[in-house]
Structure 1
Amino acid sequence: MWQNIEFANPEFFWLLLLLPIAILWFFLKRKEEMATLKISSLKGFAHPSFLSRLKPALFVLRLLSLALIITALARPQTEDISTRTKTTKGIDIVMAIDVSSSMLARDLKPNRLVALKEVAADFIKKRPNDRIGLVAFAGESYTKTPITSDKSIVLNSLRDISYGELEDGTAIGMGLATSVNRLKESKAISKVIILLTDGVNNSGFIEPQTAADLAVEYGIKTYTIGLGTNGNALTPISYNRDGSFRYGMRQVEIDEALLQDIAELTGGKYFRATDNEKLEEIYEEINKLEKTEIEEFKYYKYEEKFRPLIFLAGGLLLIEWVLRSTVFRSFI
């Protein structure tokens, strides 16, 4: 009952300074409350009775009552706070992911595609109030997941993305155009594409510039990420007899000028990720750049606790009055 108590008017506790004054006054004036009789000797009188010694208890009861009343005036209360949030500015995001064979390069650990999936999963978990979709592209593109608010679906689809689903190649224009197609009907205030690739546009029948113009027409901002270390990377170059990849060092080729143009034209930003840590930093920066506005409502419920104190103080005063009028009447 008395846990987590707060006081609405704590300034009333200054009145407790009256208590020591009242005690001092009691000791100075208590002899004046009793009638005095001057005699030469007390030998003929009995010693004071035990009951008479208890008379100061009446004053103690009055002090306790005063202390309780002052505490009640300070209004002890408990506070219950409930909150409700409302998304005032939602963001629809499509993550366009390159799944070509070069994404199996091992300059990021364990390889580019796995590193990307881990970082992208963390990004998705940090966007609980937004709708997110996935587009995969290589030599062509397709929608892996339409934009949805169900993050479990998005995370499962992201986990299932792998090389071999599409014809090999890098169709940046196709990946961007498919992402625009997923967002063009969106009613969200902010629409964003995060396009990641590690190569040069060499496939598809839609030019990246055309896809970027479509993004501008529909008011879709595009963040582009070039993935791969500077220089050479251990990349699949051929197949072994058992069907596994044979790896060899190959020059990393990323059309950074194209990615920069797409980002600049659509109002986004271009990033270059050369290792796992840099990739994490990029997604964290995008997360900060694209903030969803949340309106929070707080509801306060106060439960007053002063009533028991008033009842207790009244009870003590009643006891004091009854004792003063009965048991201690002969001493007053």
Structure 2
Amino acid sequence: MLELTWPWFLCLLPLPIVFYLLPKVAPKGQALWFPNAQYLANRQERIGTKKALHLPLIFLCLAWFCLVLAIARPTWLGEPTQVTPSGRDLLIALDLSGSMQIKDMTLNGQATDRLSAAKSVLSDFIKQRRGDRIGLIVFGSKAYLQAPLSFDTKTINQLVQEEQIGFAGEQTAIGDAIGLGIKRLENRPSDKKVLILMTDGANTAGRVKPDQAARFAASQKLRIHTIGIGADSMQVQGFFGPQTINPSNDLDETMLKNIAQKTGGEYFRAKSTSDLRRIYQTLDKLEPAPAQSIWQRPITSYFHWLGLAATFFLALALVSSGKLSLRIGRNP
């Protein structure tokens, strides 16, 4: 459905006609002497420009029409759609420590490091969020707020894809990451605060102990879901040939389970990229908190197109007027 934001501006459309119908005022002062007055008197008969003289006027009228219509702001309202926002504040704490570079995951059939797999799955998870505000914390030796809570999931997703191993240091400050999450969510309603913590190791840095941070998070009604990432076996080339090792020896599952249990969250184990995808699908089902449905209608504005059309017709008026003058000058 087409609507005009300011329809009263259409009253300006007949303004050029009003000016045209106003009585002409005779010029005062001395006449201008022109040595070839007969040429001016007979110019239409000699070059047959009756239609050409009206062409610039037509273009000017079209330019005026487009300009007034643009000022009236025509917009197209699409069909109404029902949206049920979930209304959660989700903070994602992503481990960037050195161990995240271990290539024990697969992505598109190719061996890849843990961070690349995590970024790929996180990207899909963020794109599917509707009505949630997403924030990003990265941690290594220290914890940093990479992006505050925002509905701009496109920007958050881009920031996730730009993360690199070692940006926050080589160690793992899990307690500091939880503490930063508590601080960023302390003023939010208690039923809408969620932290998703993804790591592949144990707490090896930071000033806050994970157990202490988890107790404080529980007192603040912050729910923490923890994800332990890393395969439980992989082949490496040793001195005596291929060997099978456990690349997740450093993963402190006991600590991650305690954090989730104390805060009312869940602990998940991701041994592969497919496991990670299933975990985030589960989180997507766990966390939505449906609010009252709202109706939205997509709005398309035509202001800029009409403005360009007005400029185009004005340019045509000037060009046609210039050609007419050139033709007159070439036909004495």
Give me the whole-angstrom Cα distance separating, in 1, the residues matched to 2:236 and 2:279: 23
Give me the whole-angstrom Cα distance separating, in 2, the residues matched to 1:130 and 1:146: 13
Task: Deviation per CA, 1:250-295: give whole Å up to 9, x if none.
Answer: 6422100000000000000000000010010001001111113143
Partner residue in 2 for 1:94: 91
Which letter does structure 2 place at the counterpart of 1:151?
T
State the shift of 1:234 in Å. 6.0
Q: Secondary structure at the match of 1:225?
A: strand
State the shift of 1:233 in Å. 6.9
Which letter does structure 2 place at the counterpart of 1:82?
P
Q: Aligned match of 2:117 in 112, 115, 118?
A: 115
Which letter does structure 1 place at the counterpart of 2:123?
A
Structure 1 pair 296/100, CA: closer, same or farther in 2 (3 Å)?
same
Partner residue in 2 for 1:16: none
Partner residue in 1 for 2:103: 106
Structure 1 pair 86/275, CA: closer, same or farther in 2 (3 Å)?
closer
Q: Secondary structure at the match of 2:288?
A: coil
Q: Aligned match of 2:252 in 255, 258, 268?
A: 255
Give me the whole-angstrom Cα distance separating, in 2, the residues matched to 1:222 and 1:265: 9
Note if contact 2:231-2:246 (Cα within 8 Å) is conserved in structure 1.
no
Higher strand share: 1
Note if contact 1:229-1:273 (Cα within 8 Å) is conserved in structure 2.
yes
Structure 1 pair 229/297, CA: closer, same or farther in 2 (3 Å)?
closer
Give me the whole-angstrom Cα distance separating, in 2, the residues matched to 1:136 and 1:146: 12
Task: Deviation per CA, 1:208-263: give whole Å up to 9, x if none.
Answer: 0111112112111000000011145769xxxxxxxxxxxx9664221000000000
Give me the whole-angstrom Cα distance separating, in 1, the residues matched to 2:205 and 2:294: 51
Q: Are positions 1:223 and 2:225 aligned together?
A: yes
Note if contact 1:98-1:136 (Cα within 8 Å) is conserved in structure 2.
yes
Q: Secondary structure at the match of 2:105?
A: coil
Partner residue in 2 for 1:157: 159
Partner residue in 1 for 2:80: 82
Q: Aligned match of 2:136 in 134, 137, 140?
A: 134
Give me the whole-angstrom Cα distance separating, in 2, the residues matched to 1:195 and 1:261: 13
Q: Secondary structure at the match of 2:160?
A: helix
Q: Secondary structure at the match of 1:139?
A: coil
Q: Output the aligned Cα RMSD.
A: 2.4
Structure 1 pair 229/250, CA: closer, same or farther in 2 (3 Å)?
closer
Note if contact 1:224-1:270 (Cα within 8 Å) is conserved in structure 2.
yes
Partner residue in 2 for 1:146: 148
Task: Deviation per CA, 1:87-120: give whole Å up to 9, x if none.
Answer: 3x51000000100111011111211001000101
Identity of aligned residues (%): 34
Which letter does structure 1 place at the counterpart of 2:265?
G
Q: Secondary structure at the match of 2:293?
A: strand
Partner residue in 1 for 2:206: 204
TM-score scaled by length of structure 1: 0.58
Note if contact 2:136-2:145 (Cα within 8 Å) is conserved in structure 1.
yes
Task: Deviation per CA, 1:41-83: give whole Å up to 9, x if none.
Answer: xxxxxxxxxxxxxxxxxxxxxxxxxxxxxxxxxxxxxxx9734
Give me the whole-angstrom Cα distance separating, in 2, the residues matched to 1:175 and 1:234: 32
Partner residue in 2 for 1:179: 181
Q: Aligned match of 2:275 in 260, 274, 278?
A: 278
Alignment size in residue pairs: 207
Q: Secondary structure at the match of 1:295?
A: coil
Give me the whole-angstrom Cα distance separating, in 2, the residues matched to 1:298 and 1:174: 41
Larger radius of gyration: 1
Which letter does structure 2 place at the counterpart of 1:255?
D
Q: Aligned match of 1:289 in 276, 283, 286?
A: 286
Query: What pairs up with 1:40-55 in 2 under 5 angstroms?
Result: none
Give me the whole-angstrom Cα distance separating, in 1, the residues matched to 2:101 and 2:195: 23
Which letter does structure 1 place at the counterpart of 2:83?
T
Q: Aligned match of 2:172 in 170, 179, 192?
A: 170
Q: Unmatched 5+ residue regions in structure 1?
A: 1-79, 236-247, 300-332
Q: Unmatched 5+ residue regions in structure 2?
A: 1-77, 107-111, 238-243, 297-332
Structure 1 pair 98/295, CA: closer, same or farther in 2 (3 Å)?
same
Structure 1 pair 234/220, CA: closer, same or farther in 2 (3 Å)?
farther
Q: Secondary structure at the match of 2:204?
A: coil
Partner residue in 2 for 1:330: none
Structure 1 pair 82/198, CA: closer, same or farther in 2 (3 Å)?
same
Q: Secondary structure at the match of 2:292?
A: strand
